[in-house]
Amino acid sequence: MSDLKNQTCEACQADAPAVSDQELKELMREIPEWAPVSRDGVMQLERAYKFKNFKKAWAFHELVAQMAEDEFHHPTLTLEWGKLTVTWWTHAIKGLHRNDFIMAAKTDALLEKLDS
Average pLDDT over residues 11-16: 82
Q: Which of 105, 111, 114 is nearest to 49 (CA)?
A: 111
Query: What are the domain boundaries of the chain?
Result: 18-115
Instruction: Evaluate if residue 1 carries a pLDDT over 80.
Output: no
Instruction: Evaluate if residue 116 carries a pLDDT over 70.
Output: no
Q: Which of 70, 77, 95 is nearest to 16 (CA)?
A: 95
Percent of the chain exceeding pLDDT 70 equals 97
- Convert the pLDDT of each residue in 65-115 to its tens digit: 999 999 999 999 999 999 999 999 999 999 999 999 999 999 999 988 777
Residue 32: what residue type?
A: P
* Correct CATH for 18-115 of 3.30.1360.20, 3.40.50.300, 3.10.20.30, 3.40.50.150: 3.30.1360.20
Q: 9 or 64: which carries more pLDDT confidence?
A: 64
Distance CA 41, CA 32 (A): 22
